[in-house]
Amino acid sequence: MGLEVLVLEKLDGPGGRARVHRAEGFTFDMGPTVITVPQFLEDLFATRPGEPRLYPDFPAEEDLRHTSQYVQIVPLDPFYRIHFPDGTHFDYNNDREHLLSEIRRLAPEDLEGYLRFERDARAIFQRGFLELGFTHFGSLWDLLRVAPDLLRLDAVRPLFSFVKKYFQNPKMRQVFSFESLLIGGNPLLVPAIYAMIHFVERNWGVHFAMGGTGALVRGLVRKLEELGGRIRYEAPVRRILTRKGKVVGVVLESGERLDAEVVVSNADYVHTYGELLAPEDRFWHGDWRLKRTRLSMSLFVAYFGFRARGDEGERLRHHNVLLSERYEGLLKDIFHRKVLPEDFAHYLHLPTLTDPSLAPPGHHAAYTLVPVPHNGSGLDWREIGPRYLEKALRYLDEAGYLPGLMDRLVYTHFVTPDYFQWTLNSHLGNAFGPEPVLWQTASFRPHNRSEDVRGLYLVGQSYQPGAGLPSVMMSAKMTARLIAQDLGLERAPRALLEARA
Ligand SMILES: Cc1cc2nc3c(=O)[nH]c(=O)nc-3n(C[C@H](O)[C@H](O)[C@H](O)COP(=O)(O)OP(=O)(O)OC[C@H]3O[C@@H](n4cnc5c(N)ncnc54)[C@H](O)[C@@H]3O)c2cc1C
């Protein structure tokens, strides 16, 4: 938009949750690995100076022509292999015939139910994602206008209860509801609007960035710099400065002061309002409101490198979801009771099946992620962490996912809720911002334009529309539009840019 942009990052490198951990020849993406809606990336990589591409919501790019100049994105098939404790599995992809054959193989009684689910989830996707996905719900009125549609589509009922209407088989109920966990949503509580994920993936597939998500991050940094943006690392912001109800800049932990006409916070919601904005600047986001915010769960993530046996690809795929005997009980332990369950549900990432360059020859690099309660639980992770690492890896070995793993390990590293809390500044170590329950969705999710001070904008997973890579890219576009509107750059961007130049 012709604005001078400086990114201030607390840590010593880019990526945030998508940071990379490198050690002993292994490359571990620390966070996101499932890339959905690559067209949003293409939109970013196609951006040129003076052409902000604020509209339309979904550009008509047919291929990933611009993206491929920065990073190679490859489609995965299956998207996930979902493993059940009885040794069976479901290979999930966007080939309708294949999906039907998987359902026929595991739960023939649910074939007809899937056809009804498909019809209804598609309608939710059409309205909730394609038509309303980029709506900034700045007031209750914005929500009231669309509420009748959401009610008609039954999109406000909890996702698991929605899925139960169509599927009798417990395995199918899990297959078609677990995905909200990937963005911090408890399937028992998130609204059924999240059933759209099925169609988001059906439409655009699931992709992987060769070289890891870190390669994508490097591509985005290069793009930002080509557009004239700059990044300063190890520059933690201590306070957002205001004068007469308007932002005037920030002050860093070092005491350095930087002036700015506009400040966009990409940090956690409670951190931004509770710590970066002075109490006297917060009328709408007082401590009472921040305390009432229900935060998403946290994660325990074990990164490990091991000697290959050569047969890893027989039972496992690039993305694996390992379900436990319990589903509803496990979710209640993590989200409601906030206790550490004895059994596990894992998401096991084995990217070296797609890109062997992420590990030394003859080795694999992997991570396994276990949802755990956030630090409101009072668990002492300094004490639990090493034991939990051992337990999680031993499970992969003894349950036969990676037989003999304990003897083949050559490198381990792990993060706990403490990493999210103290390194990434996420309140209580939440992994995905405010939990996406109905009463923290749309107008009820923190807004991307601050109500408290003019010139302050918010972006990323804590804000609208929510967590996950596609959502944070949508959030960025929505926030950019608000800034453009407020600075008068939206209606006639070119003329205004010329005037500014
Ligand atoms: C382990 C894991 C796996 C995931 N897997 C997937 C996946 O496969 N697919 C998917 O789509 N999504 C996935 N997600 C979700 C996705 O990663 C996030 O929703 C998304 O990356 C969040 O981006 P963000 O920019 O909002 O936040 P962040 O990436 O957390 O960025 C916030 C940045 O702000 C910085 N910061 C904080 N406070 C300050 C301060 N005071 N001053 C300066 N800088 C500050 C932080 O250091 C950080 O770099 C995953 C998340 C995790 C944790």
State the pLDDT confidence band at 496, using cuts at 50, 70 and 90.
Answer: very low
Substitution candidate for ligand 1 out of 266, 430, 456 with most atoms within 8 A of CB: 266
- Whole-number Å distance, alpha carbon 19 to ligand 1 midpoint, is 9
SS3 of residue 497 by DSSP: helix
Substitution candidate for ligand 1 out of 7, 8, 17, 424 with most atoms within 8 A of CB: 17
Evaluate if residue 492 carries a pLDDT over 50: no
Of the candidate ranges 40-49, 56-65, 327-336, 484-493, the one whose mean pLDDT is the lowest: 484-493
Q: Which residue in the block uniquely carries the two structure tokens 């493993």?
A: 83
| Alpha carbons 203 and 117: distance in angstroms, whole number | 16
Return the bridge partners of 448, or none: none
Residue type, 451: E
Q: Which residue in the block uniquely carries the two structure tokens 């690392």?
A: 233
Residues 6+ apart with CB under 8 A from 317: 78, 80, 81, 91, 350, 353
CB 97 within 8 A of CB 71: no
pLDDT at site 10: 98
Instruction: Write out pLDDT tens, residues 422-478.
Output: 999 999 999 999 999 999 999 999 999 999 999 999 999 999 999 999 999 999 999
Find the DSSP H helices in 125-204: 140-152, 159-164, 170-175, 197-204
Tokens in use for 119? Answer: 């019809």
Q: Which class for 351: exposed (0-12), middle (13-18), buried (19 or more C-beta within 10 A)?
A: buried
Instruction: Identify the residues whose C-beta falls under 6 Å from ligand 1.
Output: 8-11, 16-18, 31-34, 182, 236-237, 266-267, 271, 299, 301, 369, 424-425, 431-432, 460-461, 467-469, 472
Structural domains in the chain, sorted by start: 6-75+208-292+434-500 (3.50.50.60), 114-192 (no CATH), 298-423 (no CATH)
| Alpha carbons 93 and 479: distance in angstroms, whole number | 32
State the pLDDT confidence band at 498, using cuts at 50, 70 and 90.
Answer: low
pLDDT at site 500: 41
Tokens in use for 55? Answer: 């509209």
pTM: 0.96
State the pLDDT confidence band at 307, using cuts at 50, 70 and 90.
Answer: very high
Average pLDDT over residues 392-399: 96
